[in-house]
Copies of this chain bind each other. A is one copy, B any other.
Amino acid sequence: MNIIDSANLVYRKTPVMTDLTMHYCPGCSHGVVHKLVAEVIDEMDIQDKTIGIAPVGCAVFAYKYIDIDWQQAAHGRAPALATAVKRLLPDRYVFTYQGDGDLAAIGTAETIHACNRGENIVIIFINNGIYGMTGGQMAPTTLDGMKTATSPSGRSVPLNGYPLDMTKLLAELDGTCYVTRQSVHSLGAVRKTKKALRKAFENSMLEKGTSVIEVVSTCNSGWKMTPDESNKWMVENMFPKYPMGDLKDR
């Protein structure tokens, strides 16, 4: 019996992904989220209507992998770009894809104000608690006690302040309509994240405001663990501080 036949196809890489090998480390969460974004674009059939804004961070090359039009923003400024793009092209789907350094450190003001204005965009926020791209320095979301290149003996609150729950802040703003926290470490988690992404993209055209999807993620290189260990560590350590689920849905 030939199972491997297009008639029996259950899952394959969406054509909205390009054929390039992603530059991410083996097991990096970025890849999974990329795939989900591409799948949602595919399923909504909006490849020609979607414009992505790439960050400065490991995902800077997102534009190489998801086959849509892209702009690559300066570090932290993706929401400013997205604001302008969406205002000038209101019938387009516009999303930013940002890391925790990009969105919650240098881009704090741009993120908060885009959300507060209620721009009809989607913000995808990859919170891996670290600066992956630059070699694993501390991020605003780095957990207390977590070791990074700039907190080699572990983050310490008196020295470095508290881990920042940016998503909670964004949920407080009048301009956001949908704020949720997801992950991609398991089949179930992946499915939920995809659903959340779809909802967020759909919101774009309903003039309800900004949709924010935080994906609590791993950076196994930065964390210095295997991908599987990273997932487990994430569930045990990141989830209590950054609990899964919707923070706002209106």
Q: Contact at A140–B162, with CB atoms within 8 Å?
A: no
Q: Is the interface of A mostly helix, strand, loop or mixed?
A: helix
Those of A102-126 within 8 Å (CB) of chain B: 105-109, 112-113, 116-118
CA distance A108 to B172 in the complex (A): 15
- Is A173's CB within 8 Å of the partner chain B? yes
**Interface size, A (range):** 20 to 34
Q: Contact at B118–A108, with CB atoms within 8 Å?
A: no
With both beta carbons as reference points, the residue of chain B lying nearest to A171 in the complex is identified as B172
- Is A175's CB within 8 Å of the partner chain B? yes
With both beta carbons as reference points, the residue of chain B lying nearest to A162 in the complex is identified as B174
- Min CB distance A68 to B, Å, is 27
- Is A73's CB within 8 Å of the partner chain B? no
Q: Which chain B positions have C-beta within 8 A of A49?
A: none
Chain A 24-42: CB-based contact to B (< 8 A → 1; otherwise 0): 0000000000000000000
Those of A216-237 within 8 Å (CB) of chain B: none
- Min CB distance A193 to B, Å, is 25
Q: Contact at A108–B117, with CB atoms within 8 Å?
A: no
CA distance A105 to B113 in the complex (A): 8
Contact among B109, B172, B175 for A106, CB-based, below 8 A: B109
Q: Contact at B161–A172, with CB atoms within 8 Å?
A: no
- Is A157's CB within 8 Å of the partner chain B? yes
- Min CB distance A64 to B, Å, is 29
- Is A160's CB within 8 Å of the partner chain B? yes
Q: Contact at A116–B164, with CB atoms within 8 Å?
A: yes
Q: Which of A109, A118, A157, A160 has the most CB of B within 10 A?
A: A109
Q: Which chain B positions have C-beta within 8 A of A107?
A: 109
Extra 6 A-B pairs, beta carbons < 8 Å, given A107-B109, A169-B172: A113-B140, A118-B157, A162-B173, A168-B172, A169-B173, A172-B172
A residues with a Cβ closer than 8 A to B are 105-109, 112-113, 116-118, 140, 157, 160-162, 164, 168-169, 172-175
